[in-house]
Amino acid sequence: MLALGLLAAIGPFATDLYLPSFPLVSSDLEVAASEVQLTLTGFMIGMAVGQLFWGPISDRYRRRWPLLIAAVIFLAASVATALSGNVEALIASRVVQGVAASVGMVVGRAIGRDLATGPALARLFSLLAVIIRIALIVAPIFGGLLIGVVGWRGVLWAVAAFALAVLAITAILVPETLPPRR
């Protein structure tokens, strides 16, 4: 449950933790606010595109490997966002982050369907929805507090640290759940 919750929350967390940073990013990279907003648009486009292929990949090649591969991609993209020297690199790395983050939404729910049915599945999906809502509420507050201490790049490094934690927890706690016959 912890791993599935973190996987479900990684997208909202990575998006909303970063939102309070927009004015500083615009100032530091000397670009218009609209260009910085493209980092959010790119992330959302990446999440939409990623959902189209993570599901079929996890149905074909099982659940665990796509999760781990996406977690590594998300971690690498998170590091790239923190190191971005211009807005174009930041936008590109946020798109990749979005593609990788979508795995939690798609494969996490598939794992839930593999493990539970009926009322137990409904409870699991309800819990995941609560975790996502909590991430949506807590992340911008935490991001706003962090930005004053570590700056906008520090906030992006915090996303990378979260990505590393999700990767470790996924690697340790999430077994293969798709039966070979399926």
Q: What is the CATH number of the domain that holds 101?
A: 1.20.1250.20
Which distant-in-sequence residues (6+ apart) come within 8 Å of 159 by Cβ?
13, 14, 17, 18, 78, 81, 82
Q: How many domains does the chain have?
A: 1
Report pLDDT for 95. Answer: 97
Smallest CA-to-CA distance from 40 within 154, 163, 140, 169 is with 140
* Residue 52 to residue 106: CA distance in whole angstroms: 9
In a domain, residue 164? The reply is yes
Query: What is the span of the domain harbouring residue 117?
Result: 2-173
In a domain, residue 182? The reply is no
Report pLDDT for 135. Answer: 85
Mean pLDDT across 142-148 = 90
In a domain, residue 147? The reply is yes
Report pLDDT for 176. Answer: 84
* pLDDT-derived band at 41, boundaries 50, 70, 90: very high
Residues belonging to the chain = 182
User: Are 171 and 60 spatial neighbours (Cβ–Cβ below 8 Å)?
Assistant: no
In a domain, residue 169? The reply is yes
In a domain, residue 114? The reply is yes
Residue 179, pLDDT > 80, answer: no
Which distant-in-sequence residues (6+ apart) come within 8 Å of 8 by Cβ?
104, 105, 108, 109, 128, 131, 132
Mean pLDDT across 10-23 = 89
Residue 178, pLDDT > 80, answer: no
* pLDDT-derived band at 75, boundaries 50, 70, 90: very high
In a domain, residue 91? The reply is yes
User: Are 154 and 28 spatial neighbours (Cβ–Cβ below 8 Å)?
Assistant: no
Provide the whole-model pTM. 0.90
Distances from the Cα of 175 to the Cα of 14, 24, 79, 131, 171, angstroms: 25, 41, 27, 21, 8
In a domain, residue 178? The reply is no
Smallest CA-to-CA distance from 71 within 172, 181, 164 is with 164
The CA-to-CA distance between both ends of the chain, in Å, stands at: 23
Report pLDDT for 108. Answer: 83
Cα angle at 130 between 77 and 58, to 5 degrees?
50
In a domain, residue 70? The reply is yes
Smallest CA-to-CA distance from 7 within 162, 182, 180 is with 162
DSSP state of 86: S
175 against 77, higher pLDDT: 77
Q: Considering the chain, what is the average pLDDT of its residues? A: 90
Report pLDDT for 73. Answer: 96
Report pLDDT for 182. Answer: 67
